Structure 1
């Protein structure tokens, strides 16, 4: 099969289109013929081996060369074959999944616990936009954010992949939602259901005097102390992303905020979908929101499979409104 293989850390050109052996599913795995995948910061952080401090950690991307040869955390496609212990899927089934790696290829093996039937109302490209980004938003809003109807939510970075899902999920939970984005994306964020939109090029949400029960910080544009100032006394700050140096970002931003948790009245939390153990259940929940019309993927650009390096390069620029998808 064809796959984009990463042999060493570097820019998007380090991803080389290569012929490799097609994988065979283990007993608890499903072999998926990939019809679409998506590109996101998770991929290019692994591609560049950043933050560099992560290479020193157990379970990190690899000290001197990548542990993961084929990137791509999201896939949508058709079941090609199943392992002997798989009971819920059969060849020909349309599925979507978060294998965490292997999506930049024509076939990928996925554990049965990491995939679910594809939402019938979505194309393969739309479905591939969902797993990691929407799963992160679900963890931030429901699990870590513990959002209740009537509460006030601030989504900092509302027009990106995670942000567009977070705004819609917060509205589905019955919250009053304020989205922070640039001028060119205000109409988009408002169309997703945001009650208020803050244009960060014109005003600073941290200086507005408004208070929120929950802040989902995707952009990482403000310090932890500035974020805490916009929360109510028992408010919750959920960190998704952040900025910083090649050595620490985005981990440095997250860790500095989490470290303050024991010393403040608000709750500090991290939405880490990669280590989540409930992938299948979350995918089924997200399908319910999609099928009843409360949530839909926002696609910024779509690329053909051969142009995955270009898609990754565009993702690194940080200006995508919604998701970047790839047709395989």
Structure 2
């Protein structure tokens, strides 16, 4: 059998224009416009992807609205700088290689985090990509990376293992859906917190117990947990600590409550100091997208059936406003996907 040849260090990128969602101001979904813009060119260490599918999440929403304001220096104070194409989650096919790329070849189907994935083409660092799971559809691969990495790294930070009792707040959202499934796959016993309307989905993902946050306070009662993955971010620290074992771990993932400037991260920043001398561990999670090994772990979990990407619905690229409005309304269970290309569509720019 002939030895495989090494991929070229650089491959010319397609030229011309592409359809892309463009954001030039902060606001509601009305700031998202479908425009024709130049196809991006991959820099060193990057690949160009023909995007098959993408996904939106609360991070995309925050960058759309410009809240909390602490995010704006990274994108633009009064509005996004330049021709800003939103979107991070991606699944697609490699069509061009920047200099120095060694892990992928033209034609590889990959998933991960890209720059501006709500478009027909997007660039991505090879360190933020992995090969798509065997048997997964592009839509399933597209919703996997951002929320999946956050959930996986949260469980790692909490050191969740077999027979651990785990509480997941916000269990019906993108991160929560992955946290429940991945914890169950480790042999943990999971309690999920969500609305009553979404409880059946959380049970399908493997939670042994599901609490309706409207009627049941998860920080009351006699149940104690080895780990709390706090995705919802609404409960006070002292109440969370009450139901956490003396040497348990509390991992703060996010919150939609809080001030205009720091959003939901003002309180947990103060919690770090308050927890310094505690036997209970507190982790203010900052998820890493440059995590090839973690992306590959997610792909293997999909392949072995222990993880099912939680696709709530699929919208075409032209309907991204409707997709964002659906997310904003709080009706989504899992992740919202955007189908950028129909199956078999290989049209180039």
TM-score by length of 2: 0.88
Query: Residues of 1 paired with 2:289 and 2:133: CA distance?
Result: 21
SS of match in other structure, 2:292: helix
1:325 to 337, 345, 349: 337
1:225 to 238, 249, 267: 238
2:274 to 260, 264, 268: 260
Shift of 1:27: 2.8
* Deviations 1:12-34 (CA, angstroms, capped at 9, x unpaired): 11111111110111231110000
Matches for 1:202-217 after TM superposition, within 5 Å: 202-217=215-230
Shift of 1:209: 2.4
* Deviations 1:93-130 (CA, angstroms, capped at 9, x unpaired): 1111112x311111011111111111122110111110
> Larger helix proportion, structure 1 or 2?
1
Query: Residues of 2 paired with 1:2 and 1:136: CA distance?
Result: 29
Asked if the contact 2:149–2:289 (Cα under 8 Å) also holds between the matched residues in 1, the reply is no
Query: Does the alignment pair 1:19 with 2:36?
Result: yes
> Could you say which residue in structure 1 is the equivalent of 2:327?
315
> Could you say which residue in structure 1 is the equivalent of 2:294?
282
Which runs of 4 or more aligned residues in structure 1 lie more than 4 Å from their structure 2 counterparts after TM superposition? none
> Could you say which residue in structure 2 is the equivalent of 1:163?
176
Asked if the contact 1:241–1:254 (Cα under 8 Å) also holds between the matched residues in 2, the reply is no
Shift of 1:322: 0.6
Query: Residues of 2 paired with 1:306 and 1:165: CA distance?
Result: 28
Asked if the contact 1:98–1:279 (Cα under 8 Å) also holds between the matched residues in 2, the reply is no
* Deviations 1:219-248 (CA, angstroms, capped at 9, x unpaired): 112112221111011111111111223333
| Count of aligned positions | 321
Shift of 1:67: 4.3
> Could you say which residue in structure 2 is the equivalent of 1:81?
96
Query: Residues of 2 paired with 1:41 and 1:263: CA distance?
Result: 33
Where structure 1 has 5 or more consecutive residues not aligned to the other structure, the ranges are: none
Where structure 2 has 5 or more consecutive residues not aligned to the other structure, the ranges are: 1-17, 341-349
* Deviations 1:241-287 (CA, angstroms, capped at 9, x unpaired): 112233332222432333322143311112222xx264222110101
Asked if the contact 1:125–1:326 (Cα under 8 Å) also holds between the matched residues in 2, the reply is yes
* Deviations 1:279-315 (CA, angstroms, capped at 9, x unpaired): 2221101011111111011111111100111111221
Query: Does the alignment pair 1:271 with 2:268?
Result: no
> Could you say which residue in structure 1 is the equivalent of 2:77?
63
SS of match in other structure, 1:78: strand
Root-mean-square deviation (CA, aligned residues, Å) is 1.6
Query: Residues of 2 paired with 1:98 and 1:279: CA distance?
Result: 10
Name which of structure 1's ranges 25-34 and 249-258 shifts more when overlaid on structure 2. 249-258
> Could you say which residue in structure 2 is the equivalent of 1:148?
161
Relative to structure 1, the CA distance from residue 269 to residue 65 in structure 2 (aligned partners, 3 Å threshold; closer, same or farther) is same
SS of match in other structure, 1:258: helix
Asked if the contact 2:63–2:71 (Cα under 8 Å) also holds between the matched residues in 1, the reply is no
Shift of 1:197: 1.3
Query: Residues of 1 paired with 2:86 and 2:331: CA distance?
Result: 21
Query: Residues of 2 paired with 1:132 and 1:285: CA distance?
Result: 13
Matches for 1:24-43 after TM superposition, within 5 Å: 24-43=41-60
Query: Does the alignment pair 1:91 with 2:106?
Result: yes
* Structure number with larger C-alpha Rg: 2
1:293 to 305, 325, 343: 305
SS of match in other structure, 2:250: strand
Shift of 1:74: 0.5
TM-score by length of 1: 0.93
